[in-house]
Structure formats: structure tokens, C-alpha cells
Structure 1
Amino acid sequence: MSSNEKRGGALSNKDLANTFRRAIHLNGMNDYPGQMHSGYTYAMMPALKKIYKDDDKKLVDAYERHMNEYFNVTPYVSGLPMGVTLALEEQNAQSEDFDTSTITGVKTALMGPLSAVGDTIFHSTLRVVAVSVAIDLCMQGSFAGPVLFFLIFNIPQVIARWWTLKMGYTMGTRFLDEAASSGIMEKISYAASVIGLAAIGAMTATNVALTTPITFGGAGDTDPTALQALLDGVMPKMLPLALVLICYALLRSKKVGMVPMLFGILAIGVVLSLLGIIG
């Protein structure tokens, strides 16, 4: 049998739902040596027991295989490697000459690309959009802000957890060949990056308030020229954008932590305001 075929089908939707519920705890069992290996094994234990119900040795080997291997991926797309892994474990249960290193290879191959897509979609895009909506409502004093944040972020991620698990188990390793030939992973990552950057730009324009009251000129009957008007003529919201880019550069350099930066912005803002440089 080809390694790209899906065989068996020993697991029902109820079995996959059990794995799905346990996988919610995936990121709550991390440790430095193996990251999510404990949560990964915990999520699949009932399914593995059903797959290897007549072979205790292979069951123990499966436990050890997943507990002893490093695994780390964006939790919201973790269902895909789990589903593919379970499909491969079924093949191992049905064949005495199955190469179990294939299971490790598939998990390792999926971690990087899936994390790139998952982080871009959920952390850099969906979370930013949810925060943007919530901040606008909270600034208006609406209790709907935190509620919408919870719904906007969590409904898609719960759907993604189940859909990727189901797809991974149904398709088996065939998913890898189709993803590689179509380039779908790269396309999804690029599209999500564009959306995320647009959301960050919108948040900067609507939620970061920074202006300057500085004026110059205005001798005689001539009205003084406002520096803010000149800046807006070049590019609206130039000062808020500059502030965000400075903060981003400081955080990216890893020389300034989040808390010191916040207190620094507060102190510098007070001083510049007292000096009449910013409004």
C-alpha cells in the first residue's frame, strides 16, 4: 500500500470529537524539552487505544513515540497533524512492516508551514481585527466590546480546530502532496498577512491620537501656519504612524521590554505636552 493512501477508518466522529475536546488543553501542558508533546499525546490517547485495541505493544510504542518527540504548532491548526498522525497510526496497526519514522517525519514537516499560516491568520490577523472592534466599542463604554472580542476570535478558532482534525484524518498524508503541488499554504499565509497589515493600519489611524499644536510665521495680518496641517497635507496620521513604528522597532530590537516602553511613552508624553510640542 502506498504511504499516501488513507486506509482503515476505525475512528468514528465520536472518537474524533473526543480527541478534539482533549486537544483544547494542548497548550496547557507545555514544557521546554518537548513543548506540546504531553498535550498531543493526551489528546490522542483514547483514539490510539481504539486503534491498537488488540496490540498492547504497539499501543505503548505509540505513547512513547509521541511523548518523546518535540512538537510545537499554532494550537488552532493542531488538528491537521493530529488527524494525519491518527491515519498513519491506523496504517501501522494494519501492517507489520510499516515504517513508524514516517509518523515522526510527517509531524515534523507540518510544524513549520502550519505555524506560519496559523500565526498569521489567528495571531496577526484575527486577533488584531477582534481587538480593533473591541477597543472601539469599549471606548464608547459598551459592554459588547469584550463579548465581541471573545466571539470574533474564538468561534473561528474552534471551527478551525475541528475542521483541520477531520480533514487531516480523512485525507491522511495525501494532504501533504496536494498542499505542496498547489502552493496553497503560501497563498493563505500571504493573503492573511495583507489583511493583518491592513487591520493594524486601521487601528493606528483610529485609535492612536497624537498631534502637535506648534505653529510658525503669522507676522502682521498673516495667520500663523500650523505644523499639523502641513503634516496632514503630506500624509494624514503621520505622527501616530511614526509613534507605532518607533514602538515596533524598540520591541523588535528586544532591548526594551513592554512595561518600560509603556512607562517611557507616558513620561515622554507628559514632558512634551507640558512643553507644548504635542497636543
Structure 2
Amino acid sequence: MSKGKVLTKKDCRTAAKRWLIGISTFNYETQLAPSYAFAVYPLLRKMYPDDEDFKASLLNAMRYYNTMPWISPFVMGAALGIEDDGGVESLEAVNNFKIGIMGPLAGIGDTIGWAMIPTIFGSIAASMGMQGNPLGIFLWAAFTFAFLAVRILEVEWGYNMGINVVTKLGKPITVFTEACSVLGLTVVGSLISSVVKLQTGITYTNGDVTMKVQELLDGVMPSLLPVAAVALIYYFMNKKKVKMTHMILIIIILSWIGAACGIFTA
């Protein structure tokens, strides 16, 4: 049994780095439990000088565990904080805590870590790169290294919060998720006009007067056709469940036909 907290910031960062190395350790019975056990192994050994207590803690770490890999260090840190405070008697509480929090945080991690933040920074970096601005690659590199640093620090943050993580992060996470959603939609919407290129070559002739339809559309709203095209693609993929690969083929075929008939121009 551990007596008083013994783990340090260095220990927490060691666990985070071991998690990054051992994340590929996976099985279909306990999911990411082997990765979790590998990450916390030296910390548990430090917490439990007694071999029997150490074995009990390590077996507890090998119980079913699965959450979003980028958010897992935070769960790991909070669980270590509880166990370092309560010792071997807290093992059941530690496992119950992991089971209760890994699901909700996985959903948040998938939304923010997989979708929102990479999409925002990736879209901006890609747009800059397409315009020949070399800062795009540096922006993406800065985001990658910053996110890596956050993943390493997550264990320490979770460890300091312990069981209070639920009460401390409940409302802030909700606000942060909503803010990321708004920012992501704003960035994607602004990129439509700069990245999606779609113009029509149709002209309207009445006597000696010839008018280009594209100029009329630009007068109503610039980039109207790209916005309409993206909205139509979203409708078919979201409402009609058209697969992305099929949608890409449809866009290519319609582009060929439109260009050949003079409907679309570069």
C-alpha cells in the first residue's frame, strides 16, 4: 500500500511518453489495457514497493480500457492521482472511474482531436500552401508539435485534478466544444470561396446585348456557385448517404461533361 503521494511531474511525463510508444499494444479482449499497463508500469512500481500490492495494481491496470488515444493520457493521470492518494484499497474505485469517464471523454476527444482542430489548422495550412505561401507547412508543423506537447502534459494535469476532474471540467469542456464547432464551421465556410473553383461559361444573348451569367451571379453574391455546389454535395452525403468515393466520381464526371458543353469554365 502506498503512503502519501509519491509521484512527481517527471513520473507523469514518463508515463505520457511510454503511452506514445506503446499505443500500438492492443487486443480485442481488453482493448487498450496493455498500452495503459505499459505506460504506468514504472509508476506503479514506485507507488507499491510491496510485490503483492504491485501485482494487484498491475492486474487492475490490465482490465478493460478503451478511449480516444489522444485524450487517454488525461484519464490515465486522473486515475493515477486517485490511486496514489488511496493506495491499493482504491483499486476498485480507480477502475470504476476509468469506466465511467473513458466513454464521454472519448466522444469529446474524437470531436475535438480527430475532427475540429486538425480540420481548422489543416484547412488554413492547405489554403496557404495552395497559394504558394510556405508558412502553411510551418503552421501545420507548429500545430503538430503543440498538440504533442499537450498530450505529454495531460497526465500531469489529470494527476493534479484526480477525482475532481468531473466537476472541474464539465461546463468548460461543453463551452470549448461549442466554440470549436463555431470556429470550425466559420473556417470551412470561408475556405469555400477561396478553395472551391466553379464558374459557368453560359451567356445570355438578346439582340445586340450579350450578358455573361457568371457576372450576374457575382453581382447577386460572389462565389454563389461554389456555395451551392458544396451545399448540394453535403445534402447528398448527409441526407442521401452517398459514399464519398461515389461523390468524387460524380463530381469528376459532371465536371467533364460541363467543361465539354461549355457550362463550366476554369
Q: Structure 1-normalised TM-score?
A: 0.81
What's the counterpart of residue 220 of structure 1? Answer: 207
Residue 66 of structure 2 corresponds to residue 66 of structure 1: no
Aligned mate of 1:262, from 243, 248, 254 = 248
Q: Hey, what's the Cα distance between the residues in 2 that align with 1:132 and 1:269?
A: 23
**Higher deviation after alignment, 109-118 or 197-206:** 109-118
Deviation by residue 1:125-152 (Cα, 9 ceiling, x = unmatched): 3212322233233324455543432222
Residues 254 and 215 of structure 1: CA distance in aligned 2, closer, same or farther (over 3 Å)? closer
What's the counterpart of residue 4 of structure 1? Answer: none
Q: Hey, what's the Cα distance between the residues in 2 that align with 1:27 and 1:214?
A: 55
Structure 1 unmatched runs, 5+: 1-6
Mapped contact 2:198–2:264 kept (Cα < 8 A)? yes
> Offset of 1:186 from its aligned partner?
0.9
Q: Hey, what's the Cα distance between the residues in 2 that align with 1:31 and 1:134?
A: 36
Structure 2 unmatched runs, 5+: none
Q: Hey, what's the Cα distance between the residues in 1 that align with 2:145 and 2:85?
A: 33
What's the counterpart of residue 10 of structure 1? Answer: 6
Q: What's the RMSD between the two structures over aligned residues?
A: 2.6
Q: Hey, what's the Cα distance between the residues in 1 that align with 2:233 and 2:20?
A: 33
Q: Hey, what's the Cα distance between the residues in 1 that align with 2:25 and 2:243?
A: 26
Residue 18 of structure 2 corresponds to residue 22 of structure 1: yes
Aligned-residue identity in percent? 30
Mapped contact 1:113–1:185 kept (Cα < 8 A)? no
Residues 204 and 39 of structure 1: CA distance in aligned 2, closer, same or farther (over 3 Å)? farther
Residue 157 of structure 2 corresponds to residue 146 of structure 1: no
| Amino acid of the structure 2 residue aligned with 1:104 | N
What's the counterpart of residue 3 of structure 1? Answer: none
Residues 32 and 233 of structure 1: CA distance in aligned 2, closer, same or farther (over 3 Å)? farther
What's the counterpart of residue 89 of structure 1? Answer: 83
Residues 248 and 220 of structure 1: CA distance in aligned 2, closer, same or farther (over 3 Å)? closer
| Amino acid of the structure 1 residue aligned with 2:60 | R
> Offset of 1:19 from its aligned partner?
0.5
| Amino acid of the structure 2 residue aligned with 1:129 | I
Aligned mate of 1:132, from 123, 126, 146 = 123
Residue 24 of structure 1 aligns to a residue whose secondary structure is helix
> Offset of 1:110 from its aligned partner?
2.2
Q: Structure 2-normalised TM-score?
A: 0.85
Q: Hey, what's the Cα distance between the residues in 2 that align with 1:265 and 1:31?
A: 40
Residue 177 of structure 2 corresponds to residue 189 of structure 1: yes
> Offset of 1:168 from its aligned partner?
1.0
> Offset of 1:193 from its aligned partner?
0.8
Deviation by residue 1:8-60 (Cα, 9 ceiling, x = unmatched): 32112221121011121364334444443222222111111111222x23322
What's the counterpart of residue 70 of structure 2? Answer: 76
**Higher deviation after alignment, 248-257 or 12-21:** 248-257
Mapped contact 2:65–2:98 kept (Cα < 8 A)? no
Residue 236 of structure 1 aligns to a residue whose secondary structure is coil
Aligned residues: 263
What's the counterpart of residue 196 of structure 2? Answer: 208
> Offset of 1:202 from its aligned partner?
1.8
Residues 124 and 233 of structure 1: CA distance in aligned 2, closer, same or farther (over 3 Å)? farther
Residues 162 and 261 of structure 1: CA distance in aligned 2, closer, same or farther (over 3 Å)? same
Aligned mate of 1:242, from 207, 216, 228 = 228
> Offset of 1:77 from its aligned partner?
2.6
TM alignment of 1:161-200, pairs within 5 A: 161-180=151-170, 183-200=171-188
Mapped contact 1:214–1:277 kept (Cα < 8 A)? yes
